[in-house]
A and B are shown apart, each in its own frame.
Chain A
Amino acid sequence: MQLYELTIHELHAKLKTGEVSSVEATRSILDRIDAVEDKVHAFITITPEEAMQNAAAADKRIAAGEMDILTGIPVALKDIFLTSGIRTTSASRILGNFIPPYDATVVAKLRERGIVLIGKLNQDEFAMGSSTESSYFGVTRNPWNADHIPGGSSGGSAACIAARQATTTLGTDTGGSIRQPAAHCGCVGLKPTYGRVSRYGVIAYASSLDQVGPITRDVTDCAIMLGAIAGHDPKDSTSVELPVPDYTQTLANGVKGLRIGLPREYFIEGLDPEVKKAMDEAIATYKGLGAEFVEISLPHTDYAVATYYLIATAEASSNLARYDGVRFGYRNSDAKGLLDMYMLSRDEGFGAEVKRRIMIGTYALSSGYYDAYYLKAQKVRTLIMEDFTRAFGKVDLILTPVTPTPAFRIGEKTSDPLQMYLSDIFTIPVNLAGTCGMSIPAGFSSEGLPIGLQLIGSPFGEETLLRAAYAFEQNTLWHKRKAKI
């Protein structure tokens, strides 16, 4: 087993005994990146010098006996997290030259614990997309099959894990942007409950939906990472003041007696038969472990995608107004006058999908249309939340597919945004409801592409979610399979 293949907990064990140093582990990762990055293109920015410095510092810390589970662990971050002194682009031309003066709260938390920062990962521009094809910095390829998309928007994070180019990563999830790429790349991905993790220093797409979470090799790593980033942040008014449990402590508690709901609206015609089969097998596995299954209904599921594309775009149209060429980021230097500067800088700085969403969102908020679109979407969002509240009155968890199909081909849906939007149909409701959801490997298609299983927990029910995911992982071998690259 190569050092670059290890999980956090495996590498930590070796660092702790002194069997390997962080410098060695980091070197192994950087070599691996050199070897495969051409085929994957997971990164926007690689920071080898920073990484080696971090690793040396971590080794000192380890030698001094001040070690933490994350000390010396090579981490790569989606390029949506502000990293002080390191270019942060959100995969957009408009931030192509932006070097932040501060660290996002989650980055600061990881740095305090002594991680090694490997680089910044590719994504859809401003996290708007399901395939990482809208990045200004080029397409990321799925390590399981280079003709396929890795998913998105955190496609770089998932591909990086599948290609073993970092020990662990963080992504963000607004409508499925952690869970969907994790499913497509055969990784573990968790979208925490809204408010569980600080959004401070995370480039906003849709503020009421965005949430930070890990994409990892296994469930234990996921529990470690969630514990490291969760908690109230005085700089984020929407983060919640609730104690953070040690998520690793309860992992092995099993699923005996757990009631799992199967929403009938998610098991529909059009669901890929191989995905359906993987779900059936997963249900059988859980039954074998003592879980009970209950059919439930989430009646407003059909409206979720439409609701999402009004709320997310409305918020985005306002969130992205600050990219105006005045103080930072891209500015068209030939512009004559203020209006010209705004229009040219934004026209050239933003890609097509971002502009499309700004237009939709602007329209949804316009006077005369606000009630019909934005306000109505908010009302439907409340109904969707109530669907979940009712469901969690009956069950402890909900099990669904992550996506209707395995990863589609690069270019397959770029000309049909609606088809692209519909690929997030099973993940979007979780963001609208503000609760937590997780994607774990649950099989492979006949083409050899990973299939993901989604577990949805009640608000702040991450412990139950992780416990159920761990039980599944311990009884299957899907997460052990490696992309051949």
Chain B
Amino acid sequence: MKYQVVIGLEVHAQLLTNSKIFCGCSTKFGAEPNSQTCPVCLGLPGALPVLNRKVVEYAIRAGLATSCSIAPRSIFARKNYFYPDLPKGYQISQFELPICLDGHLEIELEGETKRIGITRIHMEEDAGKLLHLDTMEAGEMSFVDLNRACTPLLEIVSEPDMRSPEEAIAYLKKLHQIVVYLGICDGNLEEGSFRCDANVSLMPVGAETFGTRAELKNINSFRFIKQAIEYEMERQADILDEGGKVIQETRLFDPDTGTTRSMRSKEEAHDYRYFPDPDLVPLVIGADWIEDIRQTLPELPDAKRSRYVGELALPEYDAEVLAASREIAEYFDACLAFYPQAKTVSNWVMGDLLRSLKEDNSNIADCPVTPRLLADMLQLIENGTISGKIAKTVFDEMYKTGKEPVRIVEEKGLVQVTDSSEIEKIIEDVLAKDPVQVEAYRSGKEKLFGFFVGQVMKASRGKANPGLVNEILSKKLKG
């Protein structure tokens, strides 16, 4: 391709507060239409907004986690437009003085790290939802549900720093991981808790001036973002190839066809007539509050990964898998506190634990095997009470019942046999049963050693200490 794509992203993240941004109504998803409303979020005459402190705290968290500066004074503004899902006829947002400015995050792609700038993060209220139905009685009808009206959103605006769809996806995934890690957004793309608009333009390779951009809306999965950008790159390239000009417009992505279509041109764009909302006083944030919030920030994925590799000497792959989700990382860290052997813990978490959870389609937070139980079991392996193989049986039982590993071992009689005379006896029995193979081994067929180990373990029902078995067996076979 002779064009370079330039991509900037605007993400809307719905915040996980219990109540709305400017009133006390619940933000719970899926309630009876219009049941979670009051004069404020209905936009009734005389109603006034009061800012939810938690929303500000969450915005500061997002800002700190993306290296933004937090504005000591920021302003809410009204964005004026008419639409039936917008009861006041304006959306309360931030415009000239947003709460967070000038941050960045880092993405890794094919071993290379790239910094993507974050222009700003601001707080705003969501609109309600419209439902269009063709009814028997009255024909086509539109219904308004204002449960979602006034739920808090963060809008996170990137710089036009991305140069491929892959970079855009890496940025989005990173941002998604951060807001979920921070506990400020559930990150649910299908329910619209994490939505993305993309600004896409092309310029000749080597050029410095950006081309005219199109804004793509309605992209609600990581897969679609790639599709939408790739389609848009082709569309714009075709126009430029034919000597045409890309026009500045808003385009809607259609997930069914994987294409975008024009929604409105620059000329049709709304004049939102932003101005400071006189119903809300300027938001003044003290340095103390910012510091308090900084203290409570969790260790973020990048920091975790580099700690796992640097301090715990885990392989990159393990670090990546463990740090990908805050719950898994916290589970790992908790387990490590009881049993400080990073690679062993990592193997069990990434192996049996995550596999079992995946088979069950269940969440690590609900896992009956607590970090302490897993650590106890690893201790049993280390002190020789059970073998690694028996441990798998113990783990499965713990996963089913949540019982202490010691109890499982006792109840099921799974204690490892470490008494050498007992093992000697088993070995003698095995060898006595199969003199032909013993003879074969002794005449040079040393590969048979493994066969005998297997027979011995089988005879001991897996409980014989493998080290002792090896030692005694090789002695006995030598005669």
Chain A contacts of B82 at CB under 8 A? 321, 324, 342
Which among A206, A234, A322 has the greatest number of chain B C-beta atoms within 10 A?
A322
- Contact status A237-B281, CB under 8 Å: yes
Chain A contacts of B280 at CB under 8 A? 237-238
- Contact status B89-A318, CB under 8 Å: yes
Q: Is A445's beta carbon under 8 Å from chain B?
A: no
Q: Is A420's beta carbon under 8 Å from chain B?
A: no
Which of B36-44, B227-235, B244-252 participates in binding chain A?
B36-44
Which of B47-55, B113-121, B389-397, B415-423 participates in binding chain A?
B47-55
* Cα A107 to Cα B207 with chains together (Å): 65
Q: How far is the CB of A230 from chain B (nearest CB, A)?
A: 17
Interface residues of A in 300-331 (CB under 8 A from B): 314-315, 317-318, 320-322, 324, 326-328
Interface residues of A in 85-137 (CB under 8 A from B): 88, 90, 95, 98, 100-102, 104
Q: Annotate B272-309 by CB proximity to A: 1 below 8 A, 0 otherwise.
A: 01110011110000000000000000000000000000
Which among B78, B88, B89, B144 has the greatest number of chain A C-beta atoms within 10 A?
B89
- Contact status A236-B48, CB under 8 Å: yes
Known: A234-B50, A366-B271. A327 touches B87 (CB 8 A): yes
Q: How far is the CB of B315 from chain A (nearest CB, A)?
A: 53
Chain B contacts of A314 at CB under 8 A? 275
Q: Is B90's beta carbon under 8 Å from chain A?
A: yes
Q: Which of A90, A324, A328 contacts B44 (CB 8 A)?
A: A328
Q: Which of A81, A322, A374 contacts B275 (CB 8 A)?
A: A374
* Cα A321 to Cα B274 with chains together (Å): 14
Q: Is B437's beta carbon under 8 Å from chain A?
A: no
Known: A98-B45, A208-B278, A234-B50. A367 touches B273 (CB 8 A): yes
Q: Is B80's beta carbon under 8 Å from chain A?
A: yes
* Cα A88 to Cα B281 with chains together (Å): 28
- Contact status A82-B45, CB under 8 Å: yes
Chain A contacts of B46 at CB under 8 A? 81-82, 100, 104, 199-204
Known: A203-B46, A321-B82, A326-B144. A237 touches B51 (CB 8 A): yes
Q: How far is the CB of B339 from chain A (nearest CB, A)?
A: 51
Chain A contacts of B183 at CB under 8 A? none
Q: Which of B43, B48, B273 contacts A322 (CB 8 A)?
A: B43
Q: Which of A95, A238, A374 contacts B45 (CB 8 A)?
A: A95
- Contact status A203-B45, CB under 8 Å: yes
Chain A contacts of B78 at CB under 8 A? 318
* Cα A206 to Cα B275 with chains together (Å): 13
Q: How far is the CB of A201 from chain B (nearest CB, A)?
A: 4
Which among A203, A326, A366 has the greatest number of chain B C-beta atoms within 10 A?
A326
- Contact status B48-A237, CB under 8 Å: yes
* Cα A207 to Cα B278 with chains together (Å): 6
* Cα A81 to Cα B144 with chains together (Å): 27
Known: A82-B46, A326-B144, A365-B80. A321 touches B90 (CB 8 A): yes
Q: Annotate A203-245 by CB proximity to B: 1 below 8 A, 0 otherwise.
A: 1101110000000000000000000000000111110000000
Q: How far is the CB of B143 from chain A (nearest CB, A)?
A: 11
Which among A100, A235, A320, A328 has the greatest number of chain B C-beta atoms within 10 A?
A235
Chain A binding surface SS class: loop
Q: How far is the CB of A95 from chain B (nearest CB, A)?
A: 7
Which among B44, B45, B46, B50 has the greatest number of chain A C-beta atoms within 10 A?
B45
Q: Is B388's beta carbon under 8 Å from chain A?
A: no
Q: Is A142's beta carbon under 8 Å from chain B?
A: no
Q: Which of A95, A202, A318 contacts B90 (CB 8 A)?
A: A318
Chain B contacts of A367 at CB under 8 A? 271, 273
Chain A contacts of B255 at CB under 8 A? none
- Contact status A365-B89, CB under 8 Å: no
- Contact status A102-B39, CB under 8 Å: yes
Q: Annotate B194-220 by CB proximity to A: 1 below 8 A, 0 otherwise.
A: 000000000000000000000000000
Q: Is A338's beta carbon under 8 Å from chain B?
A: yes
Q: Is B84's beta carbon under 8 Å from chain A?
A: yes
- Contact status A237-B44, CB under 8 Å: no
Known: A327-B144, A342-B82, A365-B273. A235 touches B48 (CB 8 A): yes
Chain B contacts of A460 at CB under 8 A? none
- Contact status A324-B89, CB under 8 Å: yes
Q: Which of B50, B51, B80, B144 contacts A318 (CB 8 A)?
A: B80
- Contact status B42-A327, CB under 8 Å: yes
Count residues of A near B (Cβ-Cβ below 8 Å). 43
* Cα A141 to Cα B274 with chains together (Å): 40
Q: How far is the CB of A360 from chain B (nearest CB, A)?
A: 13
Q: How far is the CB of A107 from chain B (nearest CB, A)?
A: 10
Which among B42, B49, B78, B273 has the greatest number of chain A C-beta atoms within 10 A?
B273
* Cα A326 to Cα B44 with chains together (Å): 12
With both beta carbons as reference points, the residue of chain B lying nearest to A207 in the complex is identified as B278
Q: Is A248's beta carbon under 8 Å from chain B?
A: no
Chain B contacts of A203 at CB under 8 A? 45-46
Which among A203, A237, A338 has the greatest number of chain B C-beta atoms within 10 A?
A237
With both beta carbons as reference points, the residue of chain B lying nearest to A198 in the complex is identified as B48
- Contact status A100-B51, CB under 8 Å: no
With both beta carbons as reference points, the residue of chain B lying nearest to A80 in the complex is identified as B46
Q: How far is the CB of B267 from chain A (nearest CB, A)?
A: 13
- Contact status B48-A366, CB under 8 Å: no
* Cα A104 to Cα B39 with chains together (Å): 11
* Cα A90 to Cα B90 with chains together (Å): 21
Q: Annotate B103-132 by CB proximity to A: 1 below 8 A, 0 otherwise.
A: 000000000000000000000000000000
* Cα A314 to Cα B90 with chains together (Å): 13
With both beta carbons as reference points, the residue of chain A lying nearest to B280 in the complex is identified as A237
Known: A326-B84, A327-B87, A367-B271. A207 touches B50 (CB 8 A): no
* Cα A318 to Cα B43 with chains together (Å): 12
- Contact status B88-A321, CB under 8 Å: yes
Which among B39, B144, B279 has the greatest number of chain A C-beta atoms within 10 A?
B279
* Cα A366 to Cα B274 with chains together (Å): 9
- Contact status A100-B45, CB under 8 Å: yes
Interface residues of A in 67-88 (CB under 8 A from B): 81-82, 88
Interface residues of B in 356-383 (CB under 8 A from A): none
Q: How far is the CB of A349 from chain B (nearest CB, A)?
A: 13
- Contact status B49-A237, CB under 8 Å: yes
With both beta carbons as reference points, the residue of chain A lying nearest to B46 in the complex is identified as A201
Q: Which of A102, A202, A237, A338 contacts B50 (CB 8 A)?
A: A237
With both beta carbons as reference points, the residue of chain A lying nearest to B42 in the complex is identified as A327
Q: Is A408's beta carbon under 8 Å from chain B?
A: no
Known: A365-B273, A366-B271. A322 touches B278 (CB 8 A): no
Chain A contacts of B88 at CB under 8 A? 321-322
* Cα A365 to Cα B79 with chains together (Å): 11
Q: Is A362's beta carbon under 8 Å from chain B?
A: yes
Q: Is A370's beta carbon under 8 Å from chain B?
A: yes
Chain B contacts of A206 at CB under 8 A? 278
* Cα A88 to Cα B47 with chains together (Å): 14
* Cα A206 to Cα B51 with chains together (Å): 20
Chain B contacts of A365 at CB under 8 A? 80, 273-275
With both beta carbons as reference points, the residue of chain B lying nearest to A240 in the complex is identified as B281
With both beta carbons as reference points, the residue of chain B lying nearest to A90 in the complex is identified as B45
- Contact status B279-A238, CB under 8 Å: yes
Chain B contacts of A88 at CB under 8 A? 45
Interface residues of A in 318-362 (CB under 8 A from B): 318, 320-322, 324, 326-328, 338, 342, 362
The 9 A-B residue pairs with the shortest CB-CB distance, nearest first, are A321-B89, A208-B278, A365-B273, A207-B278, A201-B46, A203-B45, A82-B46, A322-B43, A326-B84
A/B interface sample: 27 pairs, CB < 8 A: A82-B45, A95-B45, A102-B44, A201-B46, A204-B46, A206-B278, A235-B50, A236-B48, A237-B48, A237-B280, A237-B281, A318-B78, A318-B80, A318-B273, A321-B80, A322-B87, A324-B84, A324-B89, A326-B87, A327-B42, A327-B43, A338-B84, A365-B80, A365-B274, A366-B271, A366-B273, A374-B275
Q: A320-B89, A322-B88 are in contact. List 6 more A-B contacts (CB 8 A).
A: A102-B39, A201-B39, A234-B50, A236-B50, A317-B80, A324-B82
- Residues of B in contact with A (beta carbons under 8 Å apart): 39, 42-51, 78, 80, 82, 84, 87-90, 144, 271, 273-275, 278-281
